[in-house]
Amino acid sequence: MNQASRLPLSGITVVSLEQAIAAPLASRHLADWGARVIKIERPGKGDFCRDYDYVMNGMSSQFAWTNRSKESLALDVKSSEGKRVFEALLPHADVFLQNLAPGAAKRLGLDGATLVERFPRLIACDISGYGSGGPYSEKKAYDLLVQCEAGFLSVNGTDEQPAKCGIAVVDTATGMYIVNGVLMALFNRERTGKGMAFEVSLFDSMAEWMSYPALLHRGRRRAATPHRHASRDHRALRAVSVRRRARDLLRHSERARMDSALRASAGRCGAGKRPALLHQSASHGKS
């Protein structure tokens, strides 16, 4: 028995019509745990993340991060030939993921609800910016936009200068919720024999992450206490510590300069005269 056959998801086939980060990251995690993942890309250029950079031996670092351990298939699902190949894949799939533009999957008959009706044991996940049915359901989204809309920037950086996260935190959160949903659906299928369709959106994922600071802010407003957040408290404490250290160093430096000046003045004035610098310092201290 080889190592792949001992992994928890060995024997599971995932077909993923994907690009960018959220869906590829999710399917890569499934591949890491033994699933066979067939990544469907656009003919020609493929996933646009292939061109983000070329630092990994000519390959994009982001593409390498989210697409290891997969098979890749260039397929135009709108063409007659592409549809034929895709239809041949679906009966063998346990999981189907797609993050096409809003409305595109439904127009092609590739949305989760339609596919599960045709293939009752299939687990199908639709990934979008804002989910279906809401006022933004037809809008596209991307990581930084959702960071702003969900309020993430308000708890990162400072009040004067909010800051985005240094990584694609929204896409990463969404990818992990996709994995979570797929694993629960697979477990449910083991008990019931039935697949299911479900949705994961970028905005919902980040709204869940922001629940804690939202509840904290709401609770503290009710209690009439100042709004503070853990990350800012730590920064404030570090800033106070730095200021205290700088103040102590300044005092030590000033004291050393004063002692040196006093010794030099005493040498010039002689033992019987009061050094002028000491007199000035004492007078300044009384004012």
Chain-centre distance for alpha carbon 105: 25
Kindly list the distances between the CA atom of residue 186 and the CA atoms of 13, 77, 92, 94, 194, in Å, as whole numbers in the listed order: 12, 26, 15, 9, 9
CB atoms within 10 A of CB 190: 8
Q: What would the two tokens of residue 195 be? A: 């697949």
H-type alpha helices, 38-168: 61-67, 80-89, 104-108, 112-118, 143-149
Q: What would the two tokens of residue 264 be? A: 């030099």
Amino acid at 95: V
pLDDT, one tens digit per residue, over 12-38 is: 999 999 999 999 999 999 999 999 999
Contact 227, 217 (CB under 8 A): yes
Q: Using 50, 70 and 90 to split pLDDT, how confident is the model at 1?
A: low
Per-residue model confidence (pLDDT) at position 263 = 61
pLDDT, one tens digit per residue, over 46-56 is: 999 999 999 99
CATH topology of domain 4-222: Rossmann fold (3.40.50)
Q: What would the two tokens of residue 132 be? A: 């279906």
Contact 132, 199 (CB under 8 A): yes
pLDDT, one tens digit per residue, over 63-80 is: 999 999 999 999 999 999
Residue spans per domain, the chain: 4-222, 233-286
Supply the residues annotated as catalytic: 171
CB atoms within 10 A of CB 25: 23
| pTM, to two decimals | 0.76
Number of helices (H) and strands (E) in the chain: give both, helices first: 11, 6
